[in-house]
């Protein structure tokens, strides 16, 4: 099983050919299948004697892969799509082949150095301090949770033990990503959700009112204020400066969730909307969303990484060697900055793409997505049968098809996917079923959007 022989050489060539073809092809949209359908088509795949590599590859390529919607298809406009560069995907093969343990500098220093170069690029976009740093984690949920664990650790540390058994509390917006509430459940922490404005932003007056109405004992429990730059449903940016002001007045941690929208920092046309992000104690952005990396990749950054290190470092006899020289910045162990230990070098494909194409290409690609988004909004405004709900701030467009019921939206969505035309699903806005498209793929064109809009007549 661990020997390379003639049959494995044939399999190697077949897998490399499959991977390269997939990278360069115009992917079919494809569609999900039921478990019963897959069982009937694939048969039993895990057996005593094995299928053999070529047969297993055939089952994947002919049966399983087509049952996965292609998130990099230019007309995949639901949720937040992904559009990895060719360089990032190819280098992901190298990362897998290299099998680097990237939890410690001792074992993966070269990979960690490269990841930190990519993290520095993101920290500079956000205007974070020169000492800022962090780690790549699996996604926004892991990033938000890890940042809030560090925030709670600092709150309790500053209290000198007084809050060690006190249930903490964070303040966020109703427009915050669901992972914030999930983090609170995981941490057994309370959450105050502040009413958003009419476009889903954290409203400063509502934020201050929520703080003012807290009982004194509850105000003491607050350890973080969370803001969002690029809400998932509407793509809007909270008033980051106002949220930072409130966090500073309370003397608590300021966390910014930019899992989707943080990539807009690379675009000069919208950079001014992020004023205040430079004041964040922690910030996340997912390169696998709008910064053209493959899954799974979330950048978690701290203004003061020493706090995160103190909160997250795991201690065990067999790990003592990793921390023998604590205090030396050179010993940057990624496992010390989030709720993980073992990790792959998931930031390397993003780093390789940045190193290959340069940051200017990233700026232009994000701007291209914004240009298509603005044109989509214009087409909707000029349409007789469609209505724009709000002007897009980033690359999300919310709109309605006049006169349609929820059932009509759903039927249209299913028919478009079944035909292999587009993947656009309904969402809810102010209790109403509407449509939402999210443009993060530079290969998505205005003609792609026009095709979708025309189908709604």
In this structure, the answer to whether residues 353 and 383 fall within a common structural domain is no
> What CATH number is associated with residue 384?
3.90.1150.170
Residue 327 has a pLDDT of 53
- Angstrom distance (rounded) from CA 143 to CA 136: 8
- Domain assignment of residue 421, given as a range: 360-454
Report the side by side order of strands in the sheet with 426-429: 386-388, 396-401, 432-438, 426-429
pLDDT(442) > 80: yes
The rounded distance, in Å, linking the Cα atoms of 224 and 219 is 11
Among 312-321, 327-336, 432-441, name the most confident range: 432-441
Is there a single domain that holds both residue 371 and residue 409?
Answer: yes
Which pTM was predicted?
A: 0.97
Question: Residues 353, 382: one domain?
Answer: no
- Which of 305, 340, 357 is the C-terminal boundary of a domain? 357
- Give tens-digit pLDDT for 395-405: 999 999 999 99
Looking at 337, 357, 377, which one is the last position of a domain?
Answer: 357
Of 324, 340, 357, the last residue of a domain is: 357
> Which DSSP letter does residue 265 get?
G
Whether residue 274 is found in the same domain as residue 418: no
Tell me the β-bridge partners of 196: 202
Same domain, 152 and 193: yes
Q: How many structural domains are present in the chain? A: 3
Q: Strand 426-429 to strand 396-401: parallel, antiparallel, or no bridges (unpaired)?
A: unpaired
> Is residue 316 assigned to a domain?
yes
**What number is the average pLDDT over the span 102-109?**
97
- Residue 127, Ramachandran bin (φ over 0: left; ψ between -120 and 50: alpha; else beta): left
Q: Tell me what pLDDT residue 321 has.
A: 87
Question: 377 and 337 in one domain?
Answer: no
One domain, residues 233 and 329: yes
Q: Is residue 83 part of a domain?
A: no
Residues 290 and 379 in one domain: no
**Is the pLDDT score of 308 beyond 60?**
yes
In a domain, 336, yes or no: yes
Q: Is residue 300 part of a domain?
A: yes
């Amino acid at each position: 099983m661990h020997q390379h022989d003639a049959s494995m050489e044939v399999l190697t060539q077949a897998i490399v050919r499959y991977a390269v073809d997939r990278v360069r092809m115009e992917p079919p949209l494809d569609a999900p299948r039921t478990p019963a359908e897959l069982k009937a088509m694939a048969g039993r795949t895990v057996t005593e004697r094995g299928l053999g590599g070529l047969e297993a590859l055939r089952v994947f390529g002919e049966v399983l892969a087509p049952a996965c919607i292609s998130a990099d298809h230019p007309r995949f406009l639901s949720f937040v799509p992904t559009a990895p560069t060719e360089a990032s995907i190819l280098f992901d093969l190298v990362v897998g082949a290299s099998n680097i343990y990237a939890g410690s500098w001792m074992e993966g220093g070269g990979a960690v150095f490269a990841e930190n170069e990519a993290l520095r690029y993101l920290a500079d976009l956000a205007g974070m301090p020169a000492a800022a740093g962090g780690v790549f984690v699996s996604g926004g949920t892991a990033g938000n949770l890890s940042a809030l664990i560090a925030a709670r650790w600092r709150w309790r540390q500053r209290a000198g033990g007084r809050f060690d058994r006190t249930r903490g509390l964070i303040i966020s917006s109703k427009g915050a990503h669901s992972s914030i509430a999930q983090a609170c459940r995981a941490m057994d922490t309370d959450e105050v959700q502040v009413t958003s404005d009419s476009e889903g932003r954290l409203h400063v007056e509502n934020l201050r009112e929520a703080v003012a109405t807290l009982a004194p004992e509850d105000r003491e429990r607050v350890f973080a204020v969370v803001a969002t730059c690029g809400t998932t449903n509407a793509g809007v940016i909270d008033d980051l400066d106002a949220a930072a002001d409130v966090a500073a007045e309370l003397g608590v941690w300021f966390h910014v969730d930019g899992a989707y929208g943080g990539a807009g920092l690379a675009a000069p046309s919208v950079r001014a909307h992020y004023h205040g992000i430079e004041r964040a104690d922690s910030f996340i952005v997912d390169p696998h969303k709008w910064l053209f990396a493959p899954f799974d990749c979330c950048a978690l950054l701290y203004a003061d990484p020493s706090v995160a290190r103190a909160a997250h470092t795991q201690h065990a006899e067999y790990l003592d060697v990793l921390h023998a020289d604590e205090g030396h910045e050179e010993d940057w162990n990624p496992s010390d900055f989030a709720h993980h230990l073992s990790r792959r070098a998931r930031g390397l494909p993003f780093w390789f793409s940045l190193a290959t194409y340069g940051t200017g290409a990233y700026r232009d690609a994000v701007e291209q997505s914004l240009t298509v988004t603005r044109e989509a909004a214009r087409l909707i405004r000029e349409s007789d049968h469609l209505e724009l709900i709000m002007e897009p701030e980033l690359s999300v467009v919310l709109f309605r098809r006049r006169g349609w019921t929820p059932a009509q939206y759903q039927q249209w969505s299913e028919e478009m996917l079944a035909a292999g035309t587009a993947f656009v699903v309904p969402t809810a806005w102010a209790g109403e079923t509407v449509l939402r498209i999210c443009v993060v793929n530079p290969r998505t064109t205005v003609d792609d959007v026009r095709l979708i809009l025309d189908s709604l007549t």
